[in-house]
Amino acid sequence: MLTPAARAIFLAFALAIVVACTGDSEEPGPGDGGAVPGIQTATPALTATPVPTATPVQIVGVRGAAQLDNPVFPSLGNGGYDVSHYDLDLDIDPGANTLDGVATMTVIATANLLAFNFDFAGPAVSAVEVNDEPAAFTREGLELTIEPANVIPDGSEFTVRIIYGGTPELLLLPDFPIAMGWTPFGESVMVHGFGLAWFPINQTPSDKATYTMRITVPQSLTATATGELTAAIRSGDTSTYVWEVTVPVGGVAFAVSNSELDSIPGPDGLNINNYFPSGSPEALKERFDIVPEVIELFNELFGPFPYDSFGITFLRGPLPFDGFSPSQRAFLLSTGDRLIVHEIAHQWFGASVTPILPSDNWLAEGFATYAELLWIEHTSTRDLSDDAARRMRVGISNTTRPPAIANSGAEVLDRAAYIRGGLTLHALRLELGDDDFFDVLRTYAERFRHSAASTADFISVAEEVSQQDLGQFFDDWVYSRPVPPLD
């Protein structure tokens, strides 16, 4: 159903991180996105509520918005603040299927706050502190509402510490076809999709942040996560793995499994830190020997790799997708070249430049799908990639929805996002010629690096670089229902 290609679904999120691939997709979050027909975006509203019993010096506070105007996932994202850093201390026991967490966020207020929300669907919260003082909190649905003892002044930096623990559950959002979050399998566990399933987060690509994750697991297991491993500390019968993400990202993920590191050199000094199940045969590891060449190709076509390191965690388990790609790491369950290529392309499109709204998800999945054709072209000929594009065009219905108009969670992951989105890029290449087309991709990747972008943003870059009015082209390809011919 949601996987157009035979391969499956990859969730890549960038923010979401969630996302998947080849038939896969990702999920963006809300934001303030610019003019996308049919979708109203707006700045989060703040509801003014006077602070009771005001004294002459008391600041009037407001309640930060509990949601942004994301038409597909309306409860995601919050207003009134901006998170700069998440510090996640996670104690995981896969045998008991439990997670005990302490999440400490460094936050900047963008209003005088008497209350604010995080998105959270994880296990029981036992305490919340704001600036090291106990704070009142309530939970309802996906919202964790926090009321600090004192109003937080606009512009000030503050810390929020949330202590929680128990058995997280898989998260299934209304109308969204894939359960996300905490996923045990065998003696292992992994998390994928929206982070709110396992830690409190402002779940929107418009609020990216840096991360520190300290993941404590039984000594027989390894925690692999997004970012770079900066320490592995043994203590008694556990090990603590410290993973740092030093550029702003929309989400993170990890897996706890019996795995071993296998590093290979990447282009331009990039470290590629792959993890495989312990005892994996060399033949399996060799399937990933293409990774440096894929990155080198995309460095040329898309611009410099957006992160300081990369790695693949290969897993064996009954998980609902083939792979997904948060920043700096792809989690894969099979080994096909196109899957590997697709997930690596998400490092540029999805992880670094994150679609700002669900209806912009073709900017992740369409781009990663088209990257597969670019790899075919690199390893064979342009004729073969052109043929592949023609087959994709023949294989989709003429009434496949326009990629930039999505009204449900299911549509975020459909063939329109992957296939019609990818074909849109191929058609744009035919329209502009190679020089301008790849200049558009590089300019877009550079301008919105470590940020979020809308369909309108991409169109704007394409028109600027090509010096052409592409209004009719994009109306036909991403906003109108009939699928245009390719030639």
Q: Which residues bind Zn ion (CB under 5 A)?
A: 10, 12, 21, 24, 365, 368
Residue 97 Ramachandran class (φ > 0 left, ψ -120 to 50 alpha, else beta): left
How would you write 85-135 as a 3-class SS string? EEEEEEEEECCCCEEEEEEEEEEEECCCEEEEEEECCCCCEEEEEECCEEC
Cα→Cα distances 40→17, 31, 74, 127, 357, Å: 23, 11, 12, 37, 11
Residue labelled with tokens 């994750």: 213
CB-nearest residue to Zn ion:
21
CB of 79 to Zn ion, least distance (A): 29
CB of 324 to Zn ion, least distance (A): 7
- Tokens standing for residue 432: 């502009």
CB of 194 to Zn ion, least distance (A): 15
Rank residues 24 and 207 by Cβ distance to Zn ion and give the closer one: 24
Rank residues 9 and 456 by Cβ distance to Zn ion and give the closer one: 9
CB of 355 to Zn ion, least distance (A): 11
Rank residues 16 and 130 by Cβ distance to Zn ion and give the closer one: 16
CB of 232 to Zn ion, least distance (A): 30
- Tokens standing for residue 313: 């965690």
- Estimate the share of the chain in helix, then strand, then coil, as percent rounded to the nearest 5: 25, 35, 40
Rank residues 109 and 368 by Cβ distance to Zn ion and give the closer one: 368
CB 398 within 8 A of CB 486: no
- Tokens standing for residue 366: 């369409």
Q: Tell me the longest C-alpha to C-alpha distance in the chain.
A: 75
Rank residues 24 and 119 by Cβ distance to Zn ion and give the closer one: 24
Rank residues 12 and 297 by Cβ distance to Zn ion and give the closer one: 12
Rank residues 342 and 378 by Cβ distance to Zn ion and give the closer one: 342
Rank residues 195 and 350 by Cβ distance to Zn ion and give the closer one: 350
Rank residues 225 and 419 by Cβ distance to Zn ion and give the closer one: 419
CB of 278 to Zn ion, least distance (A): 28
Rank residues 115 and 388 by Cβ distance to Zn ion and give the closer one: 388
Rank residues 122 and 251 by Cβ distance to Zn ion and give the closer one: 251
CB 364 within 8 A of CB 28: yes
CB 45 within 8 A of CB 80: no
CB of 404 to Zn ion, least distance (A): 17
- Tokens standing for residue 227: 């970012």
CB of 138 to Zn ion, least distance (A): 36
CB 345 within 8 A of CB 371: yes
Long-range contacts at 91-94 (CB < 8 A, ≥ 24 apart):
91/216, 92/189, 92/215, 92/216, 92/217, 92/223, 92/256, 93/217, 93/218, 94/184, 94/187, 94/188, 94/189, 94/217, 94/218, 94/221, 94/256
How would you write 323-357 as a 3-class SS string? EECCCCEEEECCCCHHHHHHHHHCCCECCCEEECC
- Tokens standing for residue 40: 């109203």
CB of 220 to Zn ion, least distance (A): 32
Indicate the burial class of 104 (C-beta count within 10 angstroms; 0-12, 13-18, 19 or more): middle
CB of 4 to Zn ion, least distance (A): 11
In this structure, the strands spanning 353-355 and 451-453 are parallel
CB of 323 to Zn ion, least distance (A): 8
